[in-house]
Amino acid sequence: MLLFLLCTLAVASRAEIAEEDDVLVLKKSNFDEALKAHPNILVEFYAPWCGHCKALVPEYAKAAGMLKAENSEIRLGKVDATEESDLAQEFGVRGYPTIKFFKGGEKESPKEYSAGRTADDIVNWLKKRTGPAATMLTEVTQTEALIADNEVAVIGFFKDGESESAKAFLKAAEAVDDVPFGMTSDAAVFTKYEMSKDGVVLFKKFDEGRNTFDGEMTKESLLSFIKSNQLPLVIEFTEQTAPKIFGGEIKSHILLFVPKASSDFQDKMDQFKKAAEGFKGKILFIYIDSDIDDNQRILEFFGLKKEECPAIRLITLEDEMTKYRPDTSDITAENIISFCTAFADGKLKPHLMSQDITDDWDKNPVKVLVGKNFEEVVFDPSKNVFIEFYAPWCGHCKQLAPIWDQLGEKYKNHDDIIVAKMDSTANEIEVVKVHSFPTLKFFPAGDERKVIDYNGERTLDGFTKFLESGGQDGGAPAGDDDDDEGAEIDSDVEDDDSDAEGHDEL
């Protein structure tokens, strides 16, 4: 009887972990119990109002259902971080959605989820984290299923599974999270896929359908081969593809902004795809539906309006983002190829946006700078210039505005001090790369063209002490501001754009 009661209590305890569409609903009160019952859990920390969380719901539920149908021990869970703030704080949740994998019942150091946001991406990533890097394929039907069930799959054909080439393949498999790998020595599988000798084939449900590796079988060369072929020749920017686009090895991206509903959409796409063929593995070709509301921030970043689309832009995502604009708006394969070739040859100059200089730019105490008058005003050797680089949509900038106006009023009669502001969504300059808003920088008088970051309190008193000390009290050499995080054209900008220090990211 005692044993029966204990079992009943255990079942009742586990029954408290509710499920929604096969996803465990986790709270602080049942989190530890969930880890005991299901040692391997992927947990999404979300906010009910978060648009990106809402977009993830169907794919997350689909992934949970796929795993459950396979009788997998891996489960998916979710935590409403706005209700369970203690859990969110415990696991360092700063934006939504944040997804962490708890393996082996341990909750001390969960692994950050790093793959895409489709059900297949989620399942493949989890299997890589809990099982062998490559599935051993012993028959044709098993191999066919792996290929059929996945958008991309990589299969190694090795007659000797202990060969050096096979070992290199497994090392490559361990390094890739978002693509399933299989390995076979079965003669029937070799015959089915027309493999007469050892080799590696990437199977995919787009473009040419399969790519056969041709080169020295090393981990590095295999990874290069996979990364060059795992994405479509032309890929659409969406919630699901964004992690693959920005997490890939190719850091030069050409973007076609085009309304998918337009009558000439397919013609533009045909031209774009034709041009892409010669730059595979060098430049990633991406198209963006310019009619979608969620994409308007991206258009703004490139200084584009919906009515100006279709349009082409190119960007490099290295240490600093650099943008390029073609000389012609005529979208043909020939023009795109010429544009990309000039970029690859280093013959293009970066495109820097600028608004026109208004007649009243210096009428008010806070001067209004644009790209076209920045150099003339800021590097006047007789002036000390303090600038706020802002974005019109930035909440922190709006909070700062009245204080910045007070600062301008205080120093409006100082001949050697200028308080200014610049809309960095519409103006760009070479000497300052703005990654978050507001960014405050001081340009002291002199011929040295020095730049000092402001790191002090955003108060009138703090700004005053900074200016009166010549940029010493509250300042730091440009580049030392740890608050500015790397800018990305990210799918999460809407819901994960504010940090604890009061910056809105680009």
Q: What is the 3-state secondary structure (H, E, C) of 135-179?
A: EEECCHHHHHHHHHCCCEEEEEECCCCCCHHHHHHHHHHHHCCCC
Parallel, antiparallel, or unpaired for β 384-390 and 452-454? Answer: unpaired
Handedness of CA 485, 486, 488, 490 (dihedral sign): negative
Name the active-site residue from 7, 309, 340, 397.
Answer: 397
Pair 403, 435 in one domain: yes
Q: Furthest-apart CA pair in the chain: how many Å? A: 91
Pair 23, 126 in one domain: yes
Using a pLDDT cut of 90, give the percent of the chain over it: 65
Report the SS3 class of residue 374.
helix
Q: Give the mean pLDDT of 90-99.
A: 90
230-242 exposure pattern, b = at least 16 Cβ within 10 A, e = fewer: bbbbbbebbbbbb
Residue 340 annotated among the catalytic residues of the structure = no
Which tokens sit at 442? Answer: 């001081």
Pair 126, 172 in one domain: no
Report the SS3 class of residue 187.
helix
Q: How far apart are CA 237 and CA 229, in angstroms?
A: 17
Tell me whether residue 504 is in a domain: no
Q: What is the residue type of 289?
A: D
Tell me whether residue 102 is in a domain: yes
| pLDDT score of 5 | 45
Separation of CA 19 from chain center:
30
Tell me whether residue 437 is in a domain: yes
**Which residue's structure tokens are 């090393």?**
218
Name the active-site residue from 7, 309, 340, 394.
Answer: 394
The CA-to-CA distance between both ends of the chain, in Å, stands at 63
The 3-state secondary structure of 169-186, one letter per residue: HHHHHHHCCCCCEEEECC
Domains contained in the chain, number:
4
Parallel, antiparallel, or unpaired for β 311-317 and 252-258? Answer: antiparallel
Q: What is the residue type of 170?
A: L
| pLDDT score of 187 | 97
What is the CB neighbour count within 10 angstroms for residue 205?
Answer: 12
The 3-state secondary structure of 111-123, one letter per residue: EECCCCCCHHHHH
Pair 224, 243 in one domain: no
Q: What is the DSSP string of 233-259?
A: SEEE--TTTHHHHHHSS--EEEEEEE-
Pair 88, 150 in one domain: no
| pLDDT score of 479 | 54
Q: What is the residue type of 229?
A: N
Report the SS3 class of residue 349.
coil
Does residue 15 register a pLDDT over 80?
no
Name the active-site residue from 7, 53, 309, 340.
Answer: 53
Tell me whether residue 430 is in a domain: yes
Q: Do 362 and 418 touch, CB atoms closer than 8 A? A: no
Q: Give the mean pLDDT of 285-311.
A: 90
Tell me whether residue 329 is in a domain: yes
Kindly report the CATH number assigned to the domain that includes residue 414.
3.40.30.10
Nearest-10 crossing angle of helices 395-410, 460-468:
50
pLDDT category of residue 477 using cuts at 50, 70 and 90: low
Does residue 267 register a pLDDT over 80?
yes
Q: Give the mean pLDDT of 435-456.
A: 92
**Length of the chain (residues):** 506
Q: How far apart are CA 209 and CA 25, in angstroms?
A: 40
Tell me whether residue 354 is in a domain: no
Model confidence over 403-416: pLDDT tens digits?
Answer: 999 999 999 999 99
Pair 248, 164 in one domain: no
247-283 exposure pattern, b = at least 16 Cβ within 10 A, e = fewer: ebebebbbbbbbbeeeeeeeebbebbbbbbeebeeeb
Tell me whether residue 498 is in a domain: no
Does residue 4 register a pLDDT over 70?
no
pTM (2 decimals)? 0.62
Q: How far apart are CA 440 and CA 474, in angstroms?
A: 11
Q: Give the mean pLDDT of 431-450.
A: 90
Q: Which residues contact 108 (CB under 8 A, 6 or more apart)?
A: none
Q: Give the mean pLDDT of 227-247.
A: 86
More confident residue, 486 or 3: 3
Q: Do 45 and 100 touch, CB atoms closer than 8 A? A: yes
Q: Give the residue from 66, 101, 130 where a domain finishes.
A: 130
Contacts 24+ apart (CB under 8 A), 372-379: 374/422, 374/427, 374/429, 375/429, 377/418, 377/420, 378/420, 378/443, 379/443, 379/449
Paired residues of 135 in beta bridges:
182
**Which residue's structure tokens are 């090795």?**
158
Pair 289, 380 in one domain: no
| pLDDT score of 6 | 43
Q: Give the residue from 228, 248, 282 where a domain finishes.
A: 228
pLDDT category of residue 106 using cuts at 50, 70 and 90: confident
33-52 exposure pattern, b = at least 16 Cβ within 10 A, e = fewer: ebbebbbbbbbbbbbeebbb
Pair 269, 323 in one domain: yes
Domain interval for residue 35: 19-130
Pair 197, 244 in one domain: no
Residue 309 annotated among the catalytic residues of the structure = no
Pair 207, 112 in one domain: no
| pLDDT score of 111 | 86
Parallel, antiparallel, or unpaired for β 252-258 and 284-289? Answer: parallel
Does residue 503 register a pLDDT over 70?
no
Separation of CA 468 from chain center:
41
| pLDDT score of 499 | 41
Q: Do 42 and 113 touch, CB atoms closer than 8 A? A: yes
More confident residue, 456 or 479: 456
Which tokens sit at 107? Answer: 């909750």
Q: How far apart are CA 424 and CA 365, in angstroms?
A: 20
Pair 31, 68 in one domain: yes
Tell me whether residue 482 is in a domain: no
Model confidence over 153-212: pLDDT tens digits?
Answer: 999 999 999 999 999 999 999 888 778 999 999 999 999 999 999 999 999 999 999 999
Pair 99, 191 in one domain: no
Q: Give the residue from 96, 130, 164 where a domain finishes.
A: 130
Supply the mean pLDDT for the chain. 87
